[in-house]
Amino acid sequence: MFSPQWQHSYQALGSGYTSRANPDPASSPEWMGWNETLAEELQWPQDLRKTDEALAIFAGQSTLEGTSPTASVYAGHQFGQYNPQLGDGRAILLGEWAVSPAKHYDVQLKGAGQTPYSRGGDGKSPVGPVVREYLVSEAMHHLGVPTTRALAAIATGDRVFRNDVEPGAVMVRVAKSHLRFGSIQYFAMTREGDGLAELVEYAAERHFPNIIAAKGADSAAAKAEVLLEETVKRIASLVAHWQSLGFVHGVMNTDNMLLSGETIDYGPCAFVDTFKADAMFSAIDSQGRYRLSNQPGIAHWNTSVLASCLLKVLNSSEDRAVAYAQSVVDEFPRWYTDAFKTRVAAKLGLDSFRPEDTELHDGFLKTLEEDQLDLSLAYRWLTHQALEDRGHTPIGDLCVPSAGLLDWQSVWQRRRASNKADSQMTGDLMCQANPVVIPRNHHIAAAIEEAESQDYDYLQAASGRWKSPFEWQDSDTLWAAPPTPTERVTRTFCGT
């Protein structure tokens, strides 16, 4: 029987891919958050579950047998400009925690100190970004969105110098891997192909072994094809999921896109409250490059960059490599649109998405924006209209429909009347597609403010509530409510 163990398969590729990096010891660490649910899924050792020993390890005060701390090199387009070398500037990989021969998870300390790729930075993280990522990444998981996970959040007791002096923290991040589009870019562009074939084969075999086996993709070129096609499909589906929930990533640089298709790096992210098609929150995105409406286009562009970097390994014939890469990238709009329409059909309680439903959904969003209505609550209000279950939840107090929304509702009801599927079934699907609660910006801000004063009750309450986002709970006059004007958050920050 296989026992969970540490492995270091990426490190084994050689020194060109990773460098040794040891965490800085925290002066007086304490637990801010611990994710026992994830610990169970990982079959994490019992003696390292929120124990003093685990705290010391994650805070860099002691080492864990079997780990081999490293930082990985990568490059990336940042706001459209290529940076030839980035890398884990404030993240240290302990290793791959293998729960089976085919299932490995990277376990990484984020904010643990300088690495060879810190570029003059301190490698530390303030409390704020750790709280944000701990809360939002787990909320995204429970919303069904592919994402990195958060095992723990730890206050270090040390000061971090940004614009002001801030308390420091470390997050223990778990991912299928931390291989990024930028990892491919570094070896394809900065290193001009040196080491690229080995990386591509490794990434394809790590993330898509079943597809490789099913296709009999034995050659390096065939594995490169699998890597490209499956990654592009997953990114298209991922961004469609973001759009359906009103999630704004805020920094969709190519180094923040994972080959596994998981969401990573939650620095300046936010969910929209009052709907705005061009919603943007990131303080560093002054031009709105990564605004809500632009995310599908940016993702498409990012996948084209990935494809161009794989040309040398896709085919020895440049013309054939370009033709294949272009054919995959050209499929992105269809894959994205199909995924988005499927989600919209479920959110609107439709049996399928028909051509005329584009106008129906566009009209819904236009009404929300014109009448300044909350996106999540409006979808949930529709859900209860479909179920004729208006008196058993607080939705009537939280979402008061405008005249425009009531007019649109009559069009929607006529469309639903033509469904070929059972109305109860489509209503139930709406309940599973339209969350009651999302990780709203003002709750995250409140959790950060309290955590900076060493009070973690709000963080833990929010984390607990967002584990069941599709079900009403007694406290939801608080958690489901939109922010008041004084609570509204309009700018979010990276913390680097």
422: annotated active-site residue: no
Contact 435, 143 (CB under 8 A): yes
| pLDDT-above-70 percentage for the chain | 99
- Alpha carbon 81 to chain centroid distance? 22
So what's the pLDDT on residue 390?
59
Domain spans of the chain, in order of start? 5-179
Contact 401, 381 (CB under 8 A): yes
So what's the pLDDT on residue 480?
97
User: Does the CA dihedral 413-246-236-462 come out positive or negative?
Assistant: negative
Q: How far is CA 48 from CA 28, 54, 95, 164, in A?
A: 18, 5, 16, 34
238: closest CA among 179, 298, 289, 285? Answer: 298
pLDDT along the chain (496 residues), means of 10: 91 96 97 98 96 97 96 97 96 97 95 94 95 98 98 97 93 98 98 97 97 94 98 98 98 97 96 97 92 98 98 96 98 98 98 96 98 98 87 87 98 95 89 97 97 98 98 93 93 77
280, with CB counted inside 10 A (0-12, 13-18, 19+), is: buried
Q: Which residues pair with 154 in a beta bridge?
A: 31, 170
Query: How does DSSP classify residue 187?
Result: I
Q: Which residues pair with 78 in a beta bridge?
A: 81
* R_g of the chain computed on alpha carbons: 23
So what's the pLDDT on residue 435?
98
So what's the pLDDT on residue 19?
97
Both tokens of 223, joined, read: 């594995």
Other Cβ atoms within 10 Å of 443 Cβ, number: 25
Q: Which helix (H) or strand (E) holds 87?
A: none
Q: What is the 3-state secondary structure (H, E, C) of 243-296?
A: HHHCEECCCCCHHHCECCCCECCCCCCEECCECCCCCCCECCCCCCCCCHHHHH
Both tokens of 99, joined, read: 């729960």
Catalytic residue among 24, 158, 255, 273: 255
